[in-house]
Structure 1
Amino acid sequence: MLSLRGRGALLAAAAVAVPLHLGLAAAPAAADGGKPGGGVTCPELVPDCDINAEGGGGGGKGEKPKPAGDPGGGGGSAKCYIEWDNIGEVPCYDADMGWFNPVGQCYWEILEPQPAKDAADWEWGTAAPATDAERAKGKVYNVTCPGGGRELAGGSTWSLNPPPGFGGGPTAEELAQEAIKKMRLLGADIGSAPKTGKTGLVGMPVWIWNTKAPRTWGPVTASASAPGITVTATANVKKIAYTMGDGGSEVCTTAGTPYEKRFGGQPSPDCGYRYTKTSSSQPGKAFTITAITTWTVHWAGGGQEGDITTTREAEPAQITIGEAQAVAKP
């Protein structure tokens, strides 16, 4: 049972906490001061937290994140302190007690499983929400307060919002975004026939392709980690949308086929175009080809998986198109 006295008023105000009489035992107190915490997995109910993808340690579904001082955890700069009893610096996360709340200086952890809403011993304080629907928006937490002679005893409490300090690291999807940054994905490396410096003809086949490399076509794989979770993401190109500079466009779902002389005047088998006018009126007397690459990224980690779509622009390419002139014989 959570007993609110003295400093407990500060804790309740900060976390909108309501004491419950559930007959639930508090988690054991910390054995020692430990080390400062670092980037950790965003806990449930925390939509935003700073990404710290340094460090390692994969975590499976249902596993608790490792404490920041654990050898499998990552680095970081967060520091947490208990001011009384000369305890001093403590881990910002403890595998047994949860996340350190600097207001009240206790550890909070979501109680699993959550008590049934209609349980006979579900007793609410006067500040509790009036309806079950409102109560369901919050969570019951187990609160543990290390140190002897504390003004606030540990126990169980309901809170509408996570208390200060609850969390400190990324969600699995945020780590996936961090992995995407590491990939340094690019837009298409545009190749064309006729190539820059050569002149094509109105109505004749134009070949377009993306010079394939991992960062322009895929697959590219990268991982990002925080204590207790590692997310691995793999990116592949879904399509490339070319804007041809004359008002027309072409969408290719392959990288395209690089042109070779042996193909002669054949059209591209998978990514081609035909111009219906010359480029003589364009700046530099050439059409500017631009392209947007759509990448799909599948990620998995921490017992979750998902897909992210991202786009990249290509460096523009130039293509000159002329018109065949009939030469009259004398």
Structure 2
Amino acid sequence: MRSLIRAVLLVLSAGLIAVFLTPQTALAAPECSVLNPTTGECIIAIEMPGTPVAPENPAPGQGGGGGQAPAPAACVDDAFFPVPTPVDCVRDGGYWSNDRDCYVAVADPQPPAGDPIYGGNTGGLVYRCSYSVTIGGTGATYFWSDVPPAGPAAPPDPAVLAQQAVDAMQLRAIEIGIVPEAAPGRMGLVGLPTWMWVDQPAENTYGPISRTVAAGGVSVTATAEVRNVVWSMGDGRSVTCTTAGTPYADSYERQSSPDCGHTYTRTSAGQPGGAYTVAATSSWTITWAGGGQTGTIDDISFTQEAQVQIGELQVIQTR
């Protein structure tokens, strides 16, 4: 019965998630729920599932008089009482966990690394578990968990909010800048330097970019930036560039790029369409902090392609 009650109650929470965007990105983001005309701050509110309504006509034995069935208590202690007893869902800086029958809060300060309480685990946090009834001692124990323990009044998982902040960034692939140009009628030559760069880098194509999501009293800020761009040149070779590259100018003539370049040693005549397919894959590093936790997300990448023709200059001698 207790597990059934808990399953019903876990869907009772409701709230709003607010994503704060800068004025420069408000137009590119999803439609604003609230737009401050003075600051230009855009708040995207995402409504969480609401509280279910009890049936008007309960089944026999589930209520009397045709009225609504009473809603079960969200937070119930069945460890220290003979029968399940409702308790406050929030108390002493913690929230009630029906699974652990105690008030859970992040331990502050955290035990030092290597403490036996971690059990050899890395990541996660140590939590304080305070009981609703104190029977001698402090009435609290401590435990480690890699995720915040569930509870009807539990704050949202900071890692989930971090991913929502990343989603709000609307990250995408770079725009390719390259010489010889990837355009009809343009052709480079074998032996001459090819320049590659991020064309018109924006905060959501190259970074850095930050977004903040707040929900349930927890605020998480994520910051993302491209750590490198791997250029697959189509001839079996690739170039890893840790900068955005340098845009080519006519004044550079036959100089090589100072930070992101390549030199073809054979023509593209045998390639599909007579051109090399250049693929630029930008990989992001994302850090986040909030809700007493920090983390990184480094498995996000995007690829953009361009077609480049490379020919060969032949000199014919005549007598």
Give TM-score, length-normalised by structure 1. Answer: 0.59
SS at match of 2:309: strand
Structure 2 equivalent of residue 98 of structure 1:
95
SS at match of 2:265: coil
Structure 2 equivalent of residue 205 of structure 1:
193
SS at match of 1:273: strand
Tell whether 2:53 aligns with 1:77. no
Aligned length: 238
Tell whether 2:40 aligns with 1:54. no
Structure 2 equivalent of residue 249 of structure 1:
238
- Between the aligned partners of 1:164 and 1:308, the Cα distance in structure 2 is 23
**Contact 2:174–2:206 (Cα < 8 Å) also in 1:** yes
Shift of 1:315: 2.1
Shift of 1:292: 1.6
Q: Structure 1's 108 and 194: CA in aligned 2 closer, same or farther, altered over 3 A?
A: same
Q: Deviation string for 1:185-220 (max 9, x for gaps)? A: 112211110002311111110000111111111111
Gaps of 5+ in 1: 1-9, 16-35, 40-52, 58-72, 114-132, 145-155
Structure 2 equivalent of residue 38 of structure 1:
14
Q: Deviation string for 1:27-68 (max 9, x for gaps)? A: xxxxxxxxx5225xxxxxxxxxxxxx71489xxxxxxxxxxx
Match of 1:292 among 281, 298, 316: 281
SS at match of 1:314: strand
**Contact 1:111–1:140 (Cα < 8 Å) also in 2:** yes
Match of 1:110 among 104, 121, 125: 104
- Between the aligned partners of 1:178 and 1:169, the Cα distance in structure 2 is 15
- Between the aligned partners of 1:312 and 1:111, the Cα distance in structure 2 is 36
Tell whether 2:240 aligns with 1:224. no
Give TM-score, length-normalised by structure 2. Answer: 0.61
- Between the aligned partners of 1:182 and 1:280, the Cα distance in structure 2 is 43
Structure 2 equivalent of residue 11 of structure 1:
2
Structure 1 equivalent of residue 176 of structure 2:
190
Tell whether 2:105 aligns with 1:142. no
SS at match of 2:213: strand
RMSD: 4.3
SS at match of 1:54: strand
Match of 1:264 among 253, 258, 276: 253
Q: Deviation string for 1:221-278 (max 9, x for gaps)? A: 1112220201011111110111000000000000001111111111101100001110
If each structure's strand is expressed as a fraction of its own residues, which one has the higher value? 2
Mapping for residues 117-132 of structure 1, pairs under 5 Å? none
- Between the aligned partners of 2:228 and 2:131, the Cα distance in structure 1 is 49
Gaps of 5+ in 2: 7-11, 21-44, 55-61, 76-87, 108-118, 120-125, 134-138
Shift of 1:86: 7.1
Shift of 1:80: 7.3
Q: Structure 1's 194 and 12: CA in aligned 2 closer, same or farther, altered over 3 A?
A: closer
Specify the code of the residue in structure 2 equivalent to 1:238.
R
**Contact 1:80–1:90 (Cα < 8 Å) also in 2:** no
- Between the aligned partners of 1:307 and 1:163, the Cα distance in structure 2 is 21
Structure 2 equivalent of residue 306 of structure 1:
295
Shift of 1:79: 2.7
**Contact 1:299–1:305 (Cα < 8 Å) also in 2:** yes
Q: Structure 1's 13 and 194: CA in aligned 2 closer, same or farther, altered over 3 A?
A: closer
SS at match of 2:17: coil
Shift of 1:88: 3.8
SS at match of 2:163: helix
Shift of 1:77: 2.1
- Between the aligned partners of 1:74 and 1:192, the Cα distance in structure 2 is 41
- Between the aligned partners of 1:111 and 1:301, the Cα distance in structure 2 is 15
**Contact 1:56–1:229 (Cα < 8 Å) also in 2:** no
- Between the aligned partners of 1:320 and 1:88, the Cα distance in structure 2 is 71
Shift of 1:172: 1.4
Shift of 1:75: 4.7
Shift of 1:78: 4.3
